[in-house]
Structure 1
Amino acid sequence: MNSNETIIIEKLNKLETLLVSSVKQILTVEDLINYTGFSRSYIYKLVHKNILPYSKPNGKTLFFQKNEIDNFLLQNKSSSISQIQQKAVDYTLTSKK
């Protein structure tokens, strides 16, 4: 196998892993690494500080609900300039004078 074939196979394996992770509703640490791009140590740090929601049913293995992870990832959302401007226009039009 030449280097181009090796690179293609590695990319296909990564793509397969991402597809599987995106379909699953319950994620393992490994799935979460692939899904978020977070490092293993960062995930464990977030778990240790109880920042990241998780389950530990057998007292050892960590599991994460995908919808809770999505909510976590979308916290502290920042509005774009156009969204802020639209809110200002809406407020101006609806506020009583």
Structure 2
Amino acid sequence: MEKNEIILYKLSRIEKYIFGLKEILNVEELSDYTGFKKSYIYKLVHSNLIPYSKPNNKVLFFDRKKIDDWLLSNSSRSLAEIKAQSLELSFKNKKA
């Protein structure tokens, strides 16, 4: 890797880290933060599938904490979690 490429790569990583610290993101920042294309973000907004704010019906803004919650919603449980819950429920049923 060339020196300039290394510097640009490191700057890009720093920029992404800073986006993670910002509480309010615009569409471009959200795209960098999530890796989603801007067109997909607009599609999510149009379908009301993503939490957003649009003050004065102009510019879109996103609360990073709400986005993080949204990204982690509807998570899948691991096999170990399912087994643990199953055991817990079977013990409760035996006590009752």
Does TM-score exceed 0.5, indicating one fold?
yes
Match of 1:84 in 2: 82
User: 1:29 aligned to 2:8?
Assistant: no
Deviations 1:50-97 (A, max 9, x none): 111111113221100111101111121110000000001111112245
For 1:4 and 1:58, locate their aligned partners in 2 and report how far apart those are by CA, in whole Å: 46
Question: SS where residue 57 of structure 2 aligns?
Answer: coil
Question: SS where residue 54 of structure 1 aligns?
Answer: coil
Runs ≥4 in structure 1, deviation > 2 angstroms?
none
Question: SS where residue 59 of structure 2 aligns?
Answer: coil
Structure with the higher fraction of residues in helix conformation = 2
Question: SS where residue 28 of structure 2 aligns?
Answer: helix
Structure 2: which 5+ runs fail to align?
A: none
TM-score by length of 1: 0.89
Aligned length: 95
Q: CA RMSD in A?
A: 1.3
**Does the 8 Å contact 1:17/1:34 carry over to 2?**
no
Structure 1: which 5+ runs fail to align?
A: none
Match of 1:42 in 2: 40
For 1:17 and 1:83, locate their aligned partners in 2 and report how far apart those are by CA, in whole Å: 36
